[in-house]
Every structure is written in structure tokens, then in C-alpha cells.
Amino acid sequence: MAGHRLAILRADYSPASEAIRQLRLALFSRAHGEGPRSLLLAPVAEGSEASTLAAGLGASLARSGRQVVLVDADLRSPSLHSLLEAVNDSGFRNLLAAGSATAPPLQPTGVDRLRLLPAGPPMANPGSLLDAADVPRILGALQTDDAVLIAVTSPTRTYADAAMLAPNFDATILVVTPGVSRRADLERAHVTLGRTSAKIAGVALVER
């Protein structure tokens, strides 16, 4: 699937869209107090389709009437801009480097109430940047208009980025894909994030 007209972004009744709606209701229904205001999707392995899930969940939540900001926090191999046909000249990386939470370069997505903060140009080692930046202040500045943040990060199997970011979010979902993610990867992710103050809300299974 390519382009911002992904099937998963459409308001249809395909199995993929219905699964996204069920996840949205589980996380953001009134029965759960409107749900988290910031959600991190952490793939446990490369190719775990976390970006596709983030885009679909963000679109579903926006169609329900909420303001949503997608944040591509995978600074190593960003992909949300490609899925949503956006430019990636600047983004989350630039906010972290500048130490400023002003004027985030949010972009429209083609879905009402859904905006994107791309990652910015990829970098090989963002760990020092994530460690030094005032991440809570930057995330807080993105939550104008009572927006919900949905972010995606680098795979937990290979990198520590998710463990560094997760404590700054209200909830974290681990993303697995059959044939890509192994049980050992998921168990290791639970242990790694469990050593932080991350709030793990569950596991999402995403088929390719």
C-alpha cells in the first residue's frame, strides 16, 4: 500500500479498517475516560508495520472528531512521510536539536483533523539527541487544541530509542507482525521498557 490514500486511511468497512476501529474504541472510548493523550507505538522488530498502524489509528481517531498529531519519532528510518505523501525536510529531529517547542512544522495529511510532524532527515545515532532534549516540553507544545499525539519509534529489538521515549507518553503499545517479530523480541521489549517508567498498554498484532 502506498500514498496517503492507503486503504487503512479510508472510512470503509474492510477488515483492516474494522480492526483499527476496534483498537481505537479499546483505547479511546468514553468508558476509558477518553483514553491517553499521548500514545507511543513501538515496533519490536524491523518491518513490524508500526507506521501503518499509526496512520490508520490516527485517521480513525480524527474521523471520530478528535484532533490528532502523528509524530514520526523514528529518527533512524522514518516512513510516515512516505505513507502520507509529505515532505521530510524538517520535523521532530529539528525540534529536538533546537531545544525549542515553538512553531512545529506540522503538515496536513488529507484527513480532516489529522496532522503530521515528520521525523526530519534520518540520522544514524539519535540517542544523544533524545537524551539531551527536553522531550516532555516539546510533546506538550504539540498538544494544542487538545490534540492526541500518536508517535512511532525505532524497533526495540535493535535500538534503545523506545525505552528513552516511552516514559514521556501516557501509554505505549508494542507492535508485532507475524513472520517478522519473534516471541523473544516481544519478551525482550517488555523487559527493556519495564526497566523504565513506561506504561505498556498492550500489544498490537499487525498483518502485512
Residues 51-76: tens digit of each pLDDT: 999 999 999 999 999 999 999 999 99
Which pLDDT belongs to residue 55?
A: 94
The whole-chain average pLDDT of the chain stands at 88
When pLDDT is cut at 50, 70 and 90, the band that residue 104 belongs to is confident
Task: Please determine, for residue 33, whether its predicted confidence score (pLDDT) is greater than 90.
Answer: no
Task: Please determine, for residue 2, whether its predicted confidence score (pLDDT) is greater than 60.
Answer: no
> Which has more pLDDT, 128 or 99?
128
CATH number of 47-205: 3.40.50.300
> Which has more pLDDT, 120 or 132?
120
Domain boundaries, the chain: 47-205
Task: Please determine, for residue 5, whether its predicted confidence score (pLDDT) is greater than 50.
Answer: no
> Which has more pLDDT, 18 or 39?
39
When pLDDT is cut at 50, 70 and 90, the band that residue 12 belongs to is low
- Strands in 68-72's sheet, in edge-to-edge order, are 107-108, 114-117, 68-72, 148-152, 38-43, 171-176, 200-205
Name every residue whose Cβ is closer than 8 Å to that of residue 28 and which is 6 or more positions away in sequence.
34, 35, 36, 61, 64, 66, 148
Distance (Å, rounded) from C-alpha 143 to C-alpha 106? Answer: 12
When pLDDT is cut at 50, 70 and 90, the band that residue 4 belongs to is very low
Which pLDDT belongs to residue 1?
A: 36
